[in-house]
Amino acid sequence: MRITKLELENFKRFTKLTIDMAQLSTPPKLVLLIGANGSGKSSVFDAFNLLSHPILENYDYWGDGYFDKNISVDSPGIKAYFSDDAFISFEDELLSRDVADAKAINEKHKRKFYGRTSFRQVPRLTRLGFKNGFSIERDTDRPLNWIDRDERFENDLEQTYRDLLSVLFDATKERTNVDIVEEFIQPISDAFRRILGESTKTSIRLKSIVPPGDSKTAEVLFTKGESTIHYNLLSAGEKEVFNILLNLSVRGKYYQDTIYFIDEMDLHLEYNTQKAFLKEITENWIPENCQLWTASHSLGFIQYANENEQAAIIDLDNLDFDLEQTIYPSQKNKDEIFEIAVSKEFLADVFRDRTIVFAENTDTAIYNAIGIDRLIFAKAIDKNVVFHKSKNLEQLGLADRDYLTDEELILLKEKYSFLRILNYYSIENYLFHPDNLKEYFTSRGIDFNADGYKDSLIREREKNITDIVYGIQQARSGYPFFKENENHKQYKLFKEQGSGIVEMLKSEDFETFYKAFPAKDYGKAINERQNLNSRDLAKTKWFKQQIEKVLQK
């Protein structure tokens, strides 16, 4: 179950807000709300909280005007439309004053929503024994209001103790220590590994959970390197990650067809951890048929949502919500979605004496290893992201040539002043170019037969020419060039000109065919390419000169 459209009327910040994702081919698994402080992100979660809460007998809670933007007009309205064509309407159903009806409605919509407020941090364990009066299954310990503290963490721990004890004393099931660790400890430790890093010397792993007793709090212990660390001594970011993971581990089994909404998941987390954390929760802890909504200003969250095809970014920034507003998912790779986290002014200030060049994925490390004066290469996923980032953030972009003719290369350089394109298919064509290998091997006193190497490349072309040609048209259709409305005629011609690449590939002239030959995919088994390190190959004078030529205007 996923939301395709949400309507809020006379609710908190909004006169009438519609978030419309119905035009997307597939309802997104992740919805990221972005916007400045006070733009209304948490107000959306207030609406979800109302739809999820068994509060219908607590008339004072929602009858005191807390949710009304204007108490002199109609009561607040909420409508959520789902991918299965169902919808929930606060104004039609949830305003019932009849207790019997309220209970029936609660049962009908039970577990369609599950939320965590941003007020969930627990700096230290305090509970000295077991506490009664809450039901994990019915989530009776959730906060009443979205501005109340979320006290579920220690209840989640207590439920874990209870589950552990029930397993230990269940005579009908034979469980070893290994079985118990795999069920209760390992999933969270594996998640920590994916979020905080593979190294056990610098990243924590969950070690053991011991219930409270003898007037002592529980012992939740972690390992980092050779050290054993109590929960109380974890960093705020580590506690945040553990809080969410434990909560989903304990309660997630009850919410398998649900809208999850978790406010400010990025609290206390740095960029790489932000991105890895959202990826872990979205892909491994939220069931596939469910949907996760979260709100953030963080670059890591925005970057992950921008890269994920199953994510939608809803930008609430800089809108007048005294007026009716309909918001659609933001187009990916636009500078506006990044400026919430990093402004153009910030980039210009930080790198005022350097030029930023966006390059494709793992290529950036190789380019930075060259050491070109006053240039710093920044990572983008692929050619499309290079194009849009460099265009929108007014920086340079360096893209692989792939399947482009010489004429197209000239035209693109004239059309897009911010874009630089390699003269060969990809960076591998430079690294494994005969001239580069000759310099590399000569510097190490190793003989290199350039003509024999070229012959090997030509044989690779002949052996794979059918497969290469087959992929040309599909590859070119995915390029970002000429897709602006005013360039539609050029784009149509561009799509039809793949035959020029075939002619290049069949050329008897080595330099002509090598420009279009995918050296990163073919020729890997050639003897001269074995056991070579890309960074070493990038340190030659030839390689540096070639890349500097490409970067010139």
| 121-170 tens-digit pLDDT | 899 999 888 887 888 888 888 887 888 899 999 999 999 888 887 877 76
Strand order in the sheet with 311-315: 113-116, 259-263, 291-295, 30-34, 311-315
Task: Give the domain 1-112+257-341 fold.
Answer: Rossmann fold (3.40.50)
Q: Which helix (H) or strand (E) holds 541?
A: helix 541-551
From the list 213, 194, 216, the residue with the least C-alpha distance to 205 is: 194
Q: Domain residues of the chain, as ranges?
A: 1-112+257-341, 123-254, 344-551
Q: Give the other-Cβ count within 10 Å of 15's Cβ.
A: 17
Report residues of the chain scoring pLDDT below 50. 54-61, 92, 94-97
469 burial type by CB count under 10 A (0-12 exposed, 13-18 middle, 19+ buried)? middle
Q: Which amino acid is at 104?
A: A
Looking at residue 92, its pLDDT comes to 47
Q: Quick one: tokens of 79?
A: 């409508």
From the list 366, 436, 371, 428, the residue with the least C-alpha distance to 400 is: 428
Looking at residue 60, its pLDDT comes to 47
E-strand spans in 405-552? 419-421
Q: Give the other-Cβ count within 10 Å of 161's Cβ.
A: 16
DSSP string of 90-154? IIIIIT---HHHHHHHHHHTTTSEEEE-S----SS----S---S--TTTTTTS-SSTTS---HHH
| 193-239 tens-digit pLDDT | 999 988 888 889 999 888 888 788 889 999 998 899 999 999 999 99
Cα 351 from Cα 444, distance rounded (Å): 37
Looking at residue 199, its pLDDT comes to 83
